[in-house]
Structure 1
């Protein structure tokens, strides 16, 4: 029985009822150490059959070993791995070190874990609990957060326990249950159950107050204290509850026999709970089975099929109370008994902690472990291995090289804050010129990753110049990043372009794009269209470059191929950019619902990983939807960020979105002012917005000037159609409007051209002709959800005397959620459930569940009826 936990137990009971009913549920228990989170996890686990429960605990010593906690959680479920699609199965097995193969991306492993849970839950509801998530390794954290956000209809409960105070962003955005101290009455009852004898009521009050009702503190802190010692509470020291509880455990551990203390320490160091391995290590330490009795009678540890501590704080108390010499001896014992062939990385890690001083042999082992970790996608683990390898290296030259490699791995792991310290360590040793240039390049890359403003480009340019005489390929890539940095900053583009032209031209995608972008920066964009590539790593530059040269086909192709490639490869770090770039292209084709789904996915990934894509599509979406308040909130927030960081291109994005919003709402003076501020940035061409706004505002000179600027772009239907439309707005004529409508290849500008032509015809009092163009424009905008422009078209139609009807459509169809709608579109396109699941990062069972709901809403019974029903 859990005192004072009725509310929490009712929440957990509801969670299990939902899971048994076929739904998935996620919950994060947050509370201070000892608040009862582990007891609640125990309660939850005891209500399920043992074979339906998978459990893992984050362990501080392993917080830098990739997939450590995730692998423990998945271990009981690996019998289902054969049911996964081959790419997912291979990624998971490589990530867990079960096979050798090409480096898998984190996202593909995440999809494999999602599928693994779904397959296990297909036989019976599954409960997965993860305690002490503050000690999760980074890769386990990213994957479990991703999986938690994608669970839906798999009959899986995923419940975490997180300590506070701590990183509140950890597992942020997931449903939470706060676990606080017990109410006074329950706290007193719990305290009375462990007090050694009668205690003055005032002392009891003080103890309850000092512990703030923390259950573990109430249970553990009075243990071993006499009534006299309790008379003054716990000494009145200002110490966090977690520290007090851990200190209490340390006191109890210190009273145990030496062999039992060693047993506890060994169990704390070995987080897998592998009893045979533990006994082999204890044998090396001359500790016999008799040591177990004292540990179990003290209620600190249970030793059965697995090792289980009374509470995670017992593990940390044992670990922290050990002398350095004793801790090294335990690590050495585990290194001696760990199979170097089956688990070389854990053996190397134990050897590293057992070593005092310098040891090249151990450092070399750690370096090999880092290579294996990188091959599994574990860059954070590789960084930890390499950093320790550098510390153990005597020779300054390899020591510096290992520190530099650790810095590169930390950057790849998304931990730029660690990089400067490691680079400083690398610079203490002798570095070859190429290595020194690499230091500067990495330092500059970190600066650009953290802040894409005006300060990012100069160090990148300096690194590129150093690399020019050492490694042409690396120099070109660094010049290209420097050029991209100046494009984002909106300043210094020509200087970088001129410097880049000193290099021999490269024939690889990055080299060709560097040559073309340098030419564009210096006023010659003739090579830009030919340099457009589907290379995923260059998407951040090629997508806006395709817009810059008005190549609609290339824009569609590049963004579609990039999204497919990012998804199929599970390229987590590129996927947000691919999602937002593709969303931008979909908006241009008036596919607002599809774009919104991708942007929702991008937001979810940003919450899970901290990685963000280009914000322009999100701003344009709400601008096109005519949602003035949320649009202005997004735009103003982007503008503040841009000003703070000195990021000129972001400022232009915000102004461009503001111009679209105001043109849709018919506020032409405001649209003209915003569009005029957005000129001169790659892939952001506000000239069409400027012509439209200025023409409606009566500023013919400004409209003509913008039209003339558009005349500089020719050679594609998009460019020629846009120029024709601008010409028609400045000098209205039927043939010019019609030419624009015929030429424009993208649905949004085509619909806007019809609207503009219809508006002119209505002003010319040609009402019947105006309706022929206003009607399809209104239908296109309303169907897409571009309500601002739809309302503008509706007003014009009403002015012609036509009654504007709302879009017809079944109520059931309009009730489809964005996710259901996207699943339906893929199903109509002929995709199977596993293919849809892989595309949307769902489990096939969730796809099947959503389709059943869609069939009910639409009144159909099979996929064959979907297209007709819609």
Structure 2
């Protein structure tokens, strides 16, 4: 029976009832130790019924064993592996250590977990419980949270129990339930029903000390003697101060443990030192202390441990903690040595070898090169299975065990690099502070600098990240390949929007062909478009992932950004498509969100709005999953720009505002410029030129390099002219013309010609608009939105010149293009001009606005289904379950007015 948790129980009950109807949901139950998190999980188990529950428990001693928690959870339903697609089955077998292969694709693993849960729920609602999530190995927790965020219509309920106040286990993006202390009525009922008689004085002290913590209310009285419970002696075992209930509970457990026989305490210590639940291992290790199975009886009688034929578990995690912490250091070391010896015969390829190595490390107090070497092996195995958090911990322990100062620096650097790959940026920063950089070879020094820059980029500012890279370049000089360091310095300096900093980076670039592209990106505008042939989209080393690898991707992304900045959108698109493809096929997750951002920007420039929305949405989900806040900011700005083009004012304001908030706080000048531009574009489309001009000038102020401002100058010129402030367009037109000359692309020349038409003398306007339209049509990649805007502006000018027939021809073409693109506010402007020119237009909705009725997730599912992809294929690409895909299609068909998948291609064709 639970006391005082009626509201929480009702919430869980409703979740399970909805699961019976096919809905899925997840919940994180938070609270300090003893608040009843595990009791609520047990309540959920009772409601779900037998055979419908999967459970895993985080174990502190196994935190560094990659995928241990996932193995415990899914092994009971391993039979469903055979029904999964080959790649998903393979990645799960690798995570479980069955195949001996490496787990390279974390997103593939998360999708496989989601698919596995969906299959396990096929026979009815499924309850998934993750207790003590703060102690689950990070690789398992990441995969499970990934799945939890994408639950929709599988009939799965996931409950995570997380202890507050303990590092690790932070779960974002999932609803949270915080357990508070029990109210006085519940406290009174619990003590009356469950606790032996207490004197009024003892009862008052227990209530005061427990602070509403249910476990404390039960365990603190158990630690008292009969005399203390009766009030004949002060309950001196209760601390006088108001320390946390967790510490008081632990002290109560320690009082119970100290009363046990010595042999029993020895066995409990061995179990606490490993806590894998393997009774046979505990018995083998405890035999070295002369203890036997019978010595566990007193602990079992006191309900401190629970025993079965093969397992031993502590009734509460704090009992294990109390056992371990109350033992002297020499006894703890002896327990770990005994476990290592007991595991010697079990060592093979897999987690037994890793557990033995960790016990050896725990039993070692000084330097030991042999144990250090074993820990390096643990790190390499963990890294190979994408257990990067585990690998980092193993490298750090190896560093502590070696007496070689140079080796220690290399190992700490490796720990920092792998912790960055795991997204543990706070830990990365702490580790880098401990590295003696003087002891690193140039390659490791460069890798470490790039990791420090990644951390700074996501937690601090791109300007400081660029400084880190420049300092590294100055230190290693010409004794190493500087290209990766300086390439990233160019990109981070660009992100800052700091013109002088970018010039400083440019001054560091050697005058050699290897750096031609970087010089083109960082140098003066006069030479910026004159880069040598960019790196081909399919070239480059694709070994990299997060952290310091992926040199080939950095160069390729730089080439794509160069194309985007200088209006070579076809090169940008081809490069981005190849990078995204290679990220997927080679499991290079660390570059996927950046590649998707480049892809979305190129597709946006080319008017492929549905595809751009899909790429940006996926990129944002990946960036959020791994805490890449810097890239999140850019992707939100991209999505805000898409919303602006479509006239979605509320969505644009929300996305642009969120991007601005983070960009302003972290001095990400270029991202802030993109967000301001999106907000200015929505104003410009709706006809509020004054507000648009303010926004666009704010955008321009955030970047100090002409190439970085070119993307917003056409909007700024139009806003200034329409707002009646043509003088504020003069300099932007000059800069735009220079940029077009450097870019050497018809698309750039078209924009410059359009803006010169807006600001030039009347006798040259028609010639310049006509030239702009010709240039729009001359390029290798059409930009339908920009061409339509030129038609609109030309038509508006012709109407003012009273050439209505000529004006209507241009305005009709503009309206047709805007309607095809779904650019509602811009289409409204064209309609207004046509009506003002005497044309009668039909009112009402358009058939090609059908996709606007769908949610963003439904649109992505429909878009892929229209290509002929199966539900399973769609689920794999969008990181959903097949049942969720089917649910989205079920909801989308009525909105689109269709009944079968065969009708989807025609809907998409009309939208284009």
Do they superpose with TM above 0.5? yes
8 A Cα contact 2:134 2:169, kept in partner: no
Q: By how many angstroms is 1:540 displaced?
A: 5.0
Q: Corresponding residue for 2:190? A: 190
Q: Secondary structure at the match of 1:573?
A: helix
| Residues 607 and 438 (structure 1), Cα distance of their counterparts in 2 relative to 1, 3 Å cut | closer
Note the alpha carbon deviations across 1:327-381, whole angstroms, 9 max, x for none: 2222222212222214211111111112232211111111111111111122221
Measured after TM superposition, the shift of residue 554 of structure 1 is 1.8
What residue number does 1:480 align with? Answer: 487
Q: Judging changes above 3 Å, is the alpha-carbon distance between structure 1 residues 768 and 248 closer, same or farther for their aligned structure 2 residues? A: farther
- CA 1:492–1:56 in 2, change beyond 3 Å: closer, same or farther? same
8 Å contact from structure 1 (residues 758, 770) kept in 2? yes
Contact map agreement 1:690 1:706 (CA 8 A) in 2: no
The reply to whether residue 456 of structure 1 matches residue 455 of structure 2 is no
Counterpart-to-counterpart distance in 2, 1:100 and 1:847: 32
The one of 387, 412, 425 equivalent to 1:403 is: 412
Matching residue of 2:374: 365
**CA offset at residue 437 of structure 1?**
6.1
Report which stretch shifted further, 177-186 or 109-118: 177-186
Kindly indicate whether the alpha-carbon contact (under 8 Å) linking 2:223 and 2:253 is maintained by their aligned counterparts in 1.
no
The residue that corresponds to 1:712 in the other structure is 741
Is residue 789 of structure 1 aligned with residue 788 of structure 2?
A: no
Q: Helix, strand or coil for the counterpart of 1:367?
A: helix
Q: Gapped runs of 5+ residues in structure 1?
A: none
Contact 1:197–1:227, Cα closer than 8 Å, also in 2: no
Of the three residues 803, 816, 834, the one matched with 1:766 is 803
Q: 1:324 aligns with which of 329, 333, 338?
A: 329
The within-5 A match list for 1:284-295 is 284-295=288-299
Structure-1 separation of matches of 2:720 and 2:3: 71
CA distance in 2 between partners of 1:804 and 1:769 (Å) = 21
**Aligned-residue offset at 1:589:** 4.0
Deviates more, 1:558-567 or 1:322-331: 558-567
Matching residue of 1:680? 705
Q: Separation in 1 of the partners of 2:455 and 2:894?
A: 51
Aligned to 1:696: 722
1:826 Cα deviation after fit: 0.9
Shift of residue 808, structure 1, vs aligned partner: 2.6
TM-score by length of structure 1 reads: 0.91
User: 835-844 or 678-687, which moves further after superposition?
Assistant: 678-687
The reply on whether 1:660 has 2:678 as its aligned counterpart is no
Partners in 2 of 1:444 and 1:817 — Cα distance? 37
Partner of 1:558: 575
The verdict on how the C-alpha distance between 1:12 and 1:524 changes in structure 2, with shifts beyond 3 A counting, is closer
In the aligned structure 1, how far is the partner of 2:444 from the partner of 2:536?
A: 31
Within 5 Å, give how 1:225-624 maps onto structure 2. Answer: 225-226=224-225, 228-230=227-229, 231=231, 234-304=238-308, 305-338=310-343, 339-342=346-349, 343-427=352-436, 430-431=439-440, 443=452, 446-472=455-481, 475-489=482-496, 490=498, 491-502=500-511, 504-506=512-514, 513-514=517-518, 516-517=520-521, 523-527=527-531, 530-531=534-535, 533=537, 536-538=553-555, 541-612=558-629, 613=631, 614-615=634-635, 616-624=637-645
1:139 partnered with 2:139: yes
1:698 CA displacement:
4.6
Q: CA RMSD in A?
A: 3.2
CA distance in 1, matches of 2:275, 2:586: 32
Partner of 2:866: 828
* Cα distance in 2 between the residues matched to 1:384 and 1:461: 29
Distance in 2 between residues matched to 1:292 and 1:27, nearest whole Å: 37
User: How far, CA to CA, are the matches of 1:684 and 1:275 in structure 2?
Assistant: 67
- Displacement after TM superposition at 1:783 (Å): 5.7
Contact 1:196 1:226 in 2 (8 A): no
The answer to whether the 8 Å contact 1:106/1:571 transfers is: no
**SS state of the match for residue 313, structure 1?**
helix
The aligned counterpart of 1:175 is 175
Aligned to 2:789: 752
Give TM-score, length-normalised by structure 2.
0.87
Secondary structure in 2 matching 1:574: helix
> What is the CA-CA distance between 1:821 and the residue it aligns to?
1.8
Contact kept in structure 2, 1:691 and 1:706, CA below 8 Å: no
Q: Which residue is 1:45 aligned to?
A: 45
Structure 1, 663-672 or 209-218: larger mean CA deviation:
663-672
2:136–2:169 Cα contact (<8 Å) kept: no
Q: Which moved more, 1:483-492 or 1:384-393?
A: 483-492
Flag the 1:552–1:401 CA change in 2: closer, same or farther, 3 A: closer
Q: Which runs of 4+ in 1 moved over 6 A?
A: none
Q: Distance in 2 between matches of 1:538 and 1:64?
A: 34
Q: Which residue of 2 aligns with 1:214?
A: 213
Name which of 772, 777, 782 aligns with 1:742. 777
What CA distance in whole angstroms lies between the structure 2 residues aligned with 1:857 and 1:385? 53
Measure how far apart 1:672 and its partner are. 4.2
Aligned length: 862
Structure 2 residue aligned with 1:732, among 765, 768, 782? 765
Conservation of the 8 A alpha-carbon contact between 1:494 and 1:521: no
C-alpha separation in 2, matches of 1:656 and 1:854: 32
Candidates 723, 745, 763, aligned match of 2:752: 723
- Farther-moved stretch of structure 1 (757-766 vs 222-231): 222-231
SS at match of 2:55: strand
Q: Which runs of 5+ in 2 are unaligned?
A: 539-551
User: Residues 752 and 346 (structure 1 numbering): CA distance in 2 closer, same or farther, change over 3 Å?
Assistant: same
In structure 2, how many angstroms separate the alpha carbons of the residues matched to 1:216 and 1:139? 30
Deviation at 1:580, TM superposition (A): 3.1
Note the 1:30-69 alignment, pairs <5 A. 30-69=30-69
Taking the TM superposition and a 5 Å limit, the aligned residue runs for 1:75-94 are 75-94=75-94
SS in 1 for 2:463: coil
Structure 1 residue 461, shift from structure 2 partner = 1.8
Q: Distance in 1 between matches of 2:272 and 2:254?
A: 13
Confirm or deny: 8 A CA contact 1:454 1:645 kept in the other structure. no
Q: Give the equivalent residue in structure 1 for 2:154.
A: 154
Among 836, 842, 861, the residue aligned to 2:880: 842
Residues 639/858 of structure 1: CA separation in 2 closer, same or farther (3 Å cut): closer
CA contact (8 A) 1:171 1:608 kept: no
Give the direction of change, closer, same or farther, for the CA distance of 1:142–1:680 in structure 2 (3 Å limit).
same
Instruction: State the alpha-carbon separation in 1 of the partners of residues 706 and 740 from structure 2.
Output: 17
Question: Do the aligned partners of 1:154 and 1:846 also contact (CA within 8 Å) in 2?
Answer: yes
After TM superposition, the structure 1 stretch with the greater mean CA deviation from structure 2, 519-528 or 399-408, is: 519-528
